A and B are shown apart, each in its own frame.
Chain A
């Protein structure tokens, strides 16, 4: 079975540009999570969805960040406008209710904002 798929794997952009990160969860999983990893803050949850509905977005740093999940197999995390401090690795994870709730992570997107 395919794992969580994220694209792009690497993104380099200039400050002020819009960035869109994409995630395809494991088929059949009904929870999707977006995390960010930085040296300063470690791994932190940004937002998570259940059945395509956002449940907790308290970790979204500011209005420049937005996330959507239009269907069960696709989610996006958008940053507009991007800033250098957004540089991080962004992970998407998914899990299924009734299957232990362990979250399976995608390979991550390394974002560099110059």
Chain B
């Protein structure tokens, strides 16, 4: 069975601070995919990134970066120089095989204030 744990329920930071959202996953499959989605206050789910289990390279996209470590079964997400517009709930998710269901974590609510 798959499981995704986001231990941080809520994080509050002041604008321009860096913040890291933690994600720990469990699966027995050797092929799997990890995702991050953003859910802003408007409610839609926005895809941010996908990583497959064979690619442990870290990725950077603007102020966003992701650290994938198979040794600790973690896929952490860092926002550098946070902005108020980053305020949202962020979900980490896992799927195994090819196109299959996403198992979501419980989400981390990020509040960025001025």
Contacts and interface: CB of A to CB of B under 8 A. Distances in A.
A binds B: yes
B99 A50 contact: yes
A56 B99 contact: no
Contacts, number: 51
B47 A97 contact: no
Interface residues of B, number: 20
Interface of A: 31, 33, 35, 42-45, 48, 50, 56, 59, 89, 91, 93, 95, 97, 100-108, 110
B54 to A, nearest CB: 14
Query: By DSSP majority rule, is chain A's interface helix, strand, loop, or mixed?
Result: strand
A108 B104 contact: no
B50 A43 contact: no
B44 A108 contact: yes
A106 B44 CA distance: 7
B95 A56 contact: no
